[in-house]
């Protein structure tokens, strides 16, 4: 039995990518867009984590 389904791994990769884009946007001063990316990543991670329980 696999530790993680491929769909879950893909979702984690997208969450990490959103966090990276959010970081880049915050570094260049686009605070609204960076915060939005972090918010989406946090909500998505929370929903993925809650589904696994």
Kindly indicate the confidence band of residue 1, based on its pLDDT and cuts at 50, 70 and 90.
very low
DSSP 4: S
Both tokens of residue 19?
């966090």
DSSP H helical segments within the chain, as ranges? 6-27, 31-51
Per-residue pLDDT averaged across 29-45, rounded?
Answer: 91
pLDDT above 90 coverage of the chain, percent: 49
pTM (whole model) above 0.75: yes
């Amino acid at each position: 039995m696999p530790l993680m389904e491929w769909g879950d791994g893909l979702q984690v990769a997208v969450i990490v990518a959103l966090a990276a884009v959010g970081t880049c946007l915050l570094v260049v001063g686009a605070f609204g867009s960076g915060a939005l990316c972090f918010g989406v990543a946090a909500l998505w991670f929370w929903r993925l984590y809650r589904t696994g329980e």
